Amino acid sequence: MDSSDIEAVVNEVDETTDTAGRHGHLPGTEDAGRGQMGPTGRPMPVFPEPPPLASHGPARVIAMCNQKGGVGKTTTTINLGATLAEYGRRVLLVDFDPQGALSVGLGIPAHQLDVTVYNLLTERGHDVRDVIVKTKVENLDVIPANIDLSAAEVQLVGEVAREQILARVLRPILDDYDVILIDCQPSLGLLTVNALTAAHGVLIPLECEFFAMRGVALLVETIEKICDRLNPRLEVDGILATMYDSRTLHSKEVVASVVEHFSDRVFHTVISRTVKFPDASLAAEPITTYDTTHKGAAAYRQLARELIARGGAA
């Protein structure tokens, strides 16, 4: 075996192992700058490093929404939040899923907390600032949730303006943050309607799998209804392909069909499938601190830059 053979083998391993190529390129950006195609089949633009903000707030509120579970909503909320925070943005994450995966994924013992987002929604007299928890990541705060939240949906049904309760909870702190990301539960029930009513934008993560698009029409219909009836400023900030596997034709086909349907609304950035994301969650950290040079961290940094470049965040 001469050195070129060894290089070939190394390259092959790089292609087929998960953690290899960590210092390499994001999928589809290998030729960035030379006008080559990105993973979404469109030329990959360069998203510049965002300049630091001279002042902070008011926050743009973005709901991470897809009524399908396991598509990367929570992972995207944590890691997009962490990368926006790295760029100096003040970020608040709202855990709006009774499973509390976002809270736990950032090391917050949510099941032991006496006050969570549930109390803010269902009881008067709480100061939202007392419920906010700081994370180990600078500029990244959380309003936690736990299983208590599962009762809120039923309790709120009889309330006046029941769709606007989360918007009211967040109003006093909008000026404290640049971006607020709401991690929705996998349903289109009253909690998600509250998130969409409080939001300026929606980010829809889609898993690169067969049937990824199933249910998206219903989601878009729900967003349009909320826009008509409750929140006219609401817009779809973008559709994010997650769990992308550049080795499979299948992933490419799914992305192609998503772009065919939603064209410019699909982010150029795609998030590859890598075990680093569940590993980071187990370690209760964003990937940016768990393995800061990993390509998964780079992908979420690129997503933050793309979101800012599109005007979806300051």
Which two structure tokens, joined as six digits, stand for 98? 């009774």
50 binding ligand ADP? (CB under 6 A): no
Q: Hey, which residues between 242 and 281 contact ligand ADP (CB under 6 A)? A: 242-243, 271, 273-274, 277-278, 281
* Among residues 60, 73, 200, 295, the one that binds Mg ion under rule CB under 5 A: 73
67 binding ligand ADP? (CB under 6 A): no
* Among residues 41, 69, 109, 311, the one that binds ligand ADP under rule CB under 6 A: 69
Q: Give me the 85-124 binding string for ligand ADP, x by CB under 6 A, dash otherwise.
A: ----------------x-----------------------
Q: How many CB atoms lie within 10 A of CB 230?
A: 17
CB of 295 to ligand ADP, least distance (A): 11
Helix/strand/coil percent split, the chain, to 5: 45, 15, 45
Part of the chain binding ligand ADP (CB under 6 A), chosen from 69-77, 88-96, 121-129, 166-174: 69-77
**Own/partner pairs for 116-120, CB < 8 Å, 24+ apart?**
116/143, 116/144, 116/145, 116/146, 116/148, 116/149, 117/143, 117/144, 117/145, 117/149, 117/169, 118/145, 118/146, 118/148, 118/149, 118/151, 118/152, 119/148, 120/169
83 binding ligand ADP? (CB under 6 A): no
CB of 273 to Mg ion, least distance (A): 17
Part of the chain binding ligand ADP (CB under 6 A), chosen from 63-71, 135-143, 224-232, 258-266: 63-71
CB of 303 to ligand ADP, least distance (A): 11
Nearest Cα to 86, choosing from 295, 309, 296, 286?
286
When CB distances are held under 5 to 8 angstroms depending on the partner's kind, the choice from ligand ADP, Mg ion, none that residue 271 binds is: ligand ADP
Q: Of 173 and 285, which has the nearer Cβ to ligand ADP?
A: 285
Encoded amino acid at 59, one letter: A
Q: How many CB atoms lie within 10 A of CB 240?
A: 26
SS (H, E, C) 177-222: CCEEEEEECCCCCHHHHHHHHHCCEEEEEEECCCCCCCCHHHHHHH
When CB distances are held under 5 to 8 angstroms depending on the partner's kind, the choice from Mg ion, ligand ADP, none that residue 81 binds is: none
CB of 200 to ligand ADP, least distance (A): 21
Using CB under 5 A, list all residues that contact Mg ion: 73-74, 101
Using CB under 6 A, list all residues that contact ligand ADP: 69-75, 101, 186, 242-243, 271, 273-274, 277-278, 281
